[in-house]
Amino acid sequence: MSIKKPDILILCTGNSCRSHMAEGVLRHAVGDTATVHSAGSDPTGEVHPLAVQVLNEIGLDISAHTSKHMNEFLDKDIKVVITVCDNADQACPQFPGQVRRYHWPFPDPAKMEGSEDEVLQFFRQVRDQIRLIFDMYAAGFTDGAELFKPADSAAS
């Protein structure tokens, strides 16, 4: 018996920082047990260079990621939607086939003001918060617990 890998979509408004960092972390953490995507409700059209840099610092390469609109995924069989900012949570549609939805907001490092070093440090802090939450989620996901929960246990 073959089980299709579930698709997980991580949403943010701009799809330039938080959602890409979360996608990189979660993709690494779940390995080939799921397919992980990210998108935005109002994508900026680019992946922030500091998001690429701070993930590279922990051995994750997101340099090939592109900024995408969430509508590109409406015809996909998305099982889990995770929003990482409040605006995306409010703008998020229900995806066909969606079983579960989570909302884990993180501060937007692209909006941080200060010196170059202060902004870089803030990107690292947000990366570390994302890594903690998404690694914990992946630990439950990869042991099979997430795959076989009944749909009525979905978080909203």
Q: Which pair of structure tokens corresponds to residue 77?
A: 């069989």
Q: Which of 10, 11, 12, 70 is catalytic?
A: 12
Strand partners, 9: 37, 81
The residue annotated as part of the active site, out of 21, 29, 54, 92, is 92
CA distances from 8 to 15, 111, 115, 123 (A): 15, 26, 35, 23
Say how far apart CA 89 and CA 13 lie, in whole Å.
9
Q: Is 17 a catalytic residue?
A: no
Q: Which of 11, 25, 70, 85 is catalytic?
A: 85
Distance (Å, rounded) from C-alpha 77 to C-alpha 57? 33
CA distance 80 to 98: 6
Known catalytic residues? 12, 85, 92
